[in-house]
Structure 1
Amino acid sequence: MGVSGCGKSSLGEAVAQATGLPLVEGDDYHSPANRDKMARGIALTDADRADWLATLGAQLQARPSGVVVTCSALKRAYRDRLRQAAPGLRFVFLDIGQAEAQARVSARAAHFFSTKLVDNQFATLESPVGEAGVLRLDATLALTQLQIAVTEWLATAQEPA
């Protein structure tokens, strides 16, 4: 989880491959209307995200033996909705600076997310640091280093209280 450009998709794919778990790319589940809004630089509202979060919750419930899901989950309320769908759910928070996120989003080719929305992502972000079942990682670390940290954490982490 984290703001756009933090590396959720790349890390999610690497962790899914390393663990043998299926990958659910959260961006693939946005409605056409939401994708259009984001492409035009219009930030999504809580109401816009409601069905998307419900769909991701259903994806979690459909895979009780485990799944890697990429999702911004910027607000605690969003994370709590996903936790309700999958008790024991853990989050990897890819923490990144605003300038680096902006540079990464600007460099992406063929993605629907407008660079105009990066500032809004940071304004919306409620840090999950201190919440149960959260691992914070520096998003600027090498992908291999991030993947190893996550897979080791998943292998040893206790279920959140």
Structure 2
Amino acid sequence: MGVSGAGKSTLAVMLADRLDVPFIEADDYHSDEARDLMSRGIGLNDEHRTPWLDRVGAAARESADAADGIVIACSALRRIYRDRLRRYLPATKFVFLNGAPDLIAERLKGRQNHFVGQSLLESQLNVLEPLEPDEPGVTLDLSETLDALVDEALRKLGVAPNAAPATPTEVRIPR
């Protein structure tokens, strides 16, 4: 979880690979309307996010039922969004990628072929609610290397990776 540009998708793919579990990219479940709004620099409201989170949660539960876990890359910026995802997968643990806004903005400047750009960073930071002490998960400093972040996430979550990395399975729904 975290704001756009924090590295959620990249980290999630690496975690899924190390754990040999399916990977879901939550961005694939946005409606065309939501994608259009974000591509024009307009942030989403709860009316847009609720059905999106339900689609992500349903797909994740279906995939998790067929596997020994799942990794999802999802902003889940507010606690109510994380609680909504936990309705589908109650044992969900979150990895919050936290970092300096300047670092994230720099990453977003170089982003290509994505509907969320730097113009939404401030609104996402304003909405962001970090993990609360009673929420299962960990907070990581995104300024670390990706390999270090993967190792730290696995260690802090108490999850043992499989011996041999596998190719991640990506679950997508048609638009």
TM-score w.r.t. the length of structure 1 is 0.93
For 1:20, the equivalent position in structure 2 comes to 20
Which residues in structure 2 correspond to 1:111-126 (within 5 Å)? 111-126=114-129
| Alpha carbons 2:138, 2:157 under 8 Å: kept | no
Offset, 1:29:
1.0
| Alpha carbons 2:96, 2:139 under 8 Å: kept | yes
Letter in 2 for 1:33: E
Secondary structure of the corresponding residue to residue 113 of structure 1: coil
Secondary structure of the corresponding residue to residue 97 of structure 2: strand
Percent identical: 39
| Alpha carbons 2:98, 2:140 under 8 Å: kept | yes
Structure with larger RCO (C-alpha < 8 A, sep 6+)? 2
Secondary structure of the corresponding residue to residue 94 of structure 1: strand
CA distance in 1, matches of 2:99, 2:46: 23
For 1:44, the equivalent position in structure 2 comes to 44
TM-score w.r.t. the length of structure 2 is 0.85
| Alpha carbons 2:111, 2:117 under 8 Å: kept | no
Moved over 6 A (4+): none
Q: Deviations over 1:97-152 (max 9, x none)?
A: 11111111111111111311000000000111413311000011000001111223
Secondary structure of the corresponding residue to residue 136 of structure 1: strand
Q: Which runs of 5+ in 2 are unaligned?
A: 161-175
Secondary structure of the corresponding residue to residue 115 of structure 2: coil
Q: Which runs of 5+ in 1 are unaligned?
A: none
